[in-house]
């Protein structure tokens, strides 16, 4: 017993290492860190082709000096500037895409007429009238499955006219833009950009991953539709709101980031 005492005493004198615990992070702080490190959506725009506008079309027009409507499309970059008589052609992979417009300061009881046809005018795929119940926001018009679909490689022109009063007037605003259905194999290889890895990812991507791939591939209509669909399904998802804001900021369209989504006609 006497021999064990010094051994026990010696053990007692060995310093016990202290553990340094990481500081506690609140859920709010963790969310803020995730947002700061979240990769923004990168939009790739090549040199988009353009088409000649139909007479009377403009990107912004007045209706009783009040209403304004614009095609919800990215403004031309410096290398693809088009004059006021031309509209850029945006792309889609869908045979029945949703096309988007931005409405502002519409009078009550306004009516819309939306048409979609081939550039040559030989085929009209959609001619639709509907009431505009909201005065400001982003509105989609979907080509219904019962209509003929867009053909790959064909260019189409869509336009929307807003009737402000009970009768049509020359002051009624009208806007339009071009759309072309493409295949993924048609996404162009550019210096510093190889679409093949993104195309492979897209074939097996989840709905939440598709917007980022569409934006990097430069497929406008599908990127917008996918982002809006996700926001409508998850209205309280802050990451989706940040994606939407960064997406529009990248395109110099951040002034529309807070515009309400009015749904799809």
pLDDT, position 172: 84
Question: 210-217 vs 220-233: helix axis angle to the nearest 10?
Answer: 160
Under 8 Å between Cβ of 106 and 196:
no
For the chain, how are helix, strand and coil distributed in percent, rounded to 5?
25, 25, 45
Closest CA to 41 of 232, 258, 208: 208
Helices (runs of H) and strands (runs of E) counted in the chain: 6, 10
pLDDT, position 35: 42
228: left (phi over 0), alpha (psi -120 to 50) or beta: alpha
Helix (H, G, I), strand (E, B) or coil at 11: helix
Each residue's pLDDT tens digit, 27-71 = 444 444 444 445 578 877 666 767 665 544 444 555 655 678 889
- Taking 70 as the pLDDT cut, the residues of the chain under it are 1-39, 45-47, 49, 51-66, 78-79, 82-85
pLDDT, position 154: 93
* φ and ψ at residue 233, rounded to 5 degrees: -80, -30
Closest CA to 187 of 45, 71, 66, 78: 45
pLDDT, position 63: 61
Can you give the pTM of this predicted structure? 0.79
pLDDT, position 193: 80
Q: Exposed/middle/buried for 204, CB within 10 Å: 0-12, 13-18, 19+?
A: exposed
pLDDT, position 64: 53
Give the Cα separation of 150 and 135 in Å (integer).
30
Tokens in use for 57? 């079309």
Residue in this structure with the two tokens 């807070």, named with its chain if needed: 258
Under 8 Å between Cβ of 105 and 64:
no
* Level-2 CATH architecture, domain 50-264: Sandwich (2.60)
pLDDT, position 84: 67
């Amino acid at each position: 017993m006497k021999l064990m005492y010094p051994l026990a005493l010696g053990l007692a004198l060995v310093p016990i290492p202290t553990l340094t615990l990481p500081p506690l992070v609140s859920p709010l702080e963790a969310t803020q860190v995730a947002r700061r490190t979240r990769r923004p959506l990168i939009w790739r725009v090549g040199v988009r082709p353009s088409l000649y506008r139909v007479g009377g079309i403009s990107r912004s027009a007045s209706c009783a000096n009040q209403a304004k409507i614009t095609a919800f499309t990215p403004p031309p970059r410096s290398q693809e500037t088009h004059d006021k008589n031309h509209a850029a052609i945006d792309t889609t992979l869908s045979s029945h895409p949703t096309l988007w417009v931005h409405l502002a300061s519409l009078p009550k009881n306004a009516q819309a007429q939306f048409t979609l046809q081939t550039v040559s005018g030989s085929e009209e795929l959609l001619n639709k009238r509907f009431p505009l119940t909201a005065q400001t926001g982003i509105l989609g018009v979907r080509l219904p499955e019962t209509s003929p679909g867009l053909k790959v490689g064909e260019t189409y022109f869509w336009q929307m006219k807003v009737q402000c009063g009970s009768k049509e007037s020359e002051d009624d605003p009208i806007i339009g833009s071009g759309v072309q259905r493409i295949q993924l194999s048609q996404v162009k290889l550019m210096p510093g950009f190889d679409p093949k890895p993104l195309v492979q990812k897209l074939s097996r991507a989840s709905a939440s991953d598709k917007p980022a791939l569409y934006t990097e591939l430069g497929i406008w209509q599908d990127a917008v539709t996918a982002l809006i669909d996700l926001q409508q399904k998850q209205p309280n998802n802050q990451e989706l709101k940040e994606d939407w804001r960064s997406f529009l900021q990248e395109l110099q369209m951040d002034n529309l980031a807070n515009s309400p989504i009015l749904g799809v006609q």
